[in-house]
Amino acid sequence: MTVAERVLFDALKRPLPRYAVAFLIFALAMALRLSIFPLDAGYPFFTFYPAVVLTAMLCGTGPTLMGIALSAIVCDLLLIPPSWAATLTYQAIASISVYAAFSIFINFIIQKSRQGSVERSLLAAIVRLADIAIISKTLKGIITSWNLEAERLFGYTASEAIGKPITILFPPDKTHEEEEIIAQVQRGESLTHFDTVRIRKDGSAVEVSVSLSPVLDLYGRITGVSKIVHDITRQRVYEEDLKLSNRNLIAAITELKRSNKELDEFAYIASHDLKEPLRGIHNYVSFLLEDYASLLDEESRNYLDRIQRLAERMTALTDCLLSLSRPGNTPIPMQTVDPNVVLNEVEEDVRPTLVSLGVKLRRAGRLPSVTGNSLRIREVFQNLIINAAKYNDKPQKWVEVGCEHTRAVPVYYVRDNGIGIPEQHRAAIFRIFKRLHEQNKFGGGTGAGLTITKKIIERHGGKIWLESTEGEGTTFYFTLMEGL
């Protein structure tokens, strides 16, 4: 495009210059008409048709309609006999109508084709700049178009590639693919995501995914093939990376399972074997206290008492370790469990403790059945209810057991109006032997109850969490199946 053309096209983007140019074109048409024929020689619109075409092409519909209207008025005044008179004879009306209708039709056709060319150039721009390689070729395999991404992917510029056979991109062992592709396209079929290898200008191979579709002419005949080519080298690298990380993950999980199992076995054996010498210590101290009490002074008896209590405590701790490691060792048998029945049994067991602590147990509706191990589920309810009763300093103590149906799976809960659990300790309480209080506070304990509870719940595929307000109470929530 020359500088003058560019200036003209830039000016014609604004309405005022468009109308001015239209006016000028029609004025020139008038001058031309007057210079060729005398006023009343007939052919009034002779020079206006080219003016309509030119205005429609350059200025658009509005200025063209203005030009048509102006030229019709001027023609009626001057060129349609009698000249210099605005007499609308039938003949004048007929000739102006034909001119106007024909001109509007010309304008319509031109605007349509302008729109088509805008769409075509838009499409061409999209194809040119698309970040996938888009290539078209004839049915004989000769490249006819080649976008920027094709240049980047294969290293050939458009001028180097267009006119060449597409087989310049094929490795020698894949040239048969072209015949198969063309045969398929000639049958009118498209081809999507065909993974193959192509060769760049520098001779290096590139893994690509090719999609093809036939190009049809106005009459529906197949005239060529358009081709979209994705570079999948990076995707392949990601896939390989993903496979590798999956393999590593599986290996790590297997290793973790193995070491967990070993740890459980170790804890089980250690706690089991520790029980025997502990029992011995406890028994011998008892013998000493029973048989030699009279020989011992007050201080020695106190020491022996303490040794006995410590041995008892250590026995309790090893018992906890035993029960914590036991569920991990063998698969636990599962059956349909009615937690209401389980809760009846728990209530029976914990009644003396609740009575002695002055705690009221209430049940908020029926609990839905679940697949699990009733003995273990019983342990979960028992641990949580005993804790809810123990860690309570209110005059009116209560514990509530119920189930919420707000999630995909039933969420059981044990709620109390007890002392609450400070935010910063909420994760720690699930650690083995972790107590938040001195040994003799709130009825004592080993600090293993919640660890065991969590482990049982997780072995059922469930989860445990809590909500708590210090001084107001705690709710432990848990599920007994996967799917939260």
Which residues lie near ligand ADP (CB under 6 A)?
383, 387-388, 391, 416, 418-419, 421, 429, 434-437, 445-451, 474
Residues 6+ away with beta carbon under 8 Å from 253: none
Q: Compute CA distances 431 → 80, 341, 361, 418, whole Å.
A: 106, 30, 27, 21
- Can you list the pairs that 313-318 forms with residues at least 24 positions away whose Cβ atoms lie under 8 Å? 313/439, 313/446, 314/274, 314/278, 315/275, 315/278, 315/279, 315/282, 316/446, 317/433, 317/446, 317/448, 318/271, 318/272, 318/274, 318/275, 318/278
Q: Which long-range contacts (CB under 8 A, 24 or more apart) does 248-256 make?
A: none
Cβ atoms of 373 and 332 within 8 Å: the answer is: yes
Give 226 or 451: the residue with its C-beta nearer to ligand ADP: 451
Q: State which residue, 393 or 482, has the beta carbon closest to ligand ADP.
A: 393
Extract the tokens encoding 190.
């498209």
Residue 405: what are its φ and ψ, rounded to 5°? -115, 40
CB 353 → ligand ADP: shortest distance, Å? 12
CB of 264 to ligand ADP, least distance (A): 18
Closest distance of CB 421 from ligand ADP, Å? 5
Coil, strand or helix: which one is 261?
helix
Buried b (16+ CB within 10 A) or exposed e, 248-266: eeeeeeeeeeeeeeeebee
* CB nearer ligand ADP, residue 14 or residue 425: 425
Cβ of residue 403: shortest distance to ligand ADP, in angstroms?
18
Q: What gap in Å lies between CA 456 and CA 146, rounded to an integer?
A: 64
Q: How far is the CB of 260 from ligand ADP (least distance, A)?
A: 20
CB of 387 to ligand ADP, least distance (A): 3
Please name the residue that has the structure tokens 């107590």: 435
Minimum distance, C-beta of residue 363 to ligand ADP, in the bound complex (Å): 17
Q: What sign results for the dihedral spanned by CA atoms 146, 150, 152, 153?
A: negative
Using CB atoms, what's the residue nearest to ligand ADP? 445
Residue 324's closest CA among 237, 438, 454?
A: 454
Query: Nearer to ligand ADP by C-beta: 319 or 338?
Result: 319
The smaller minimum CB distance to ligand ADP, of residues 64 and 451, is found at: 451
Nearer to ligand ADP, 95 or 468 (CB): 468
Q: Which two tokens stand for residue 338?
A: 């009615």
Nearer CB in complex with ligand ADP: 46/413: 413
Q: Considering beta carbons, is residue 401 or 429 the nearer one to ligand ADP?
A: 429
Which candidate, 395, 409, 404, 392, places its Cα nearest to that of 474? 392
* Nearest-approach distance from CB 392 to ligand ADP, in angstroms: 7
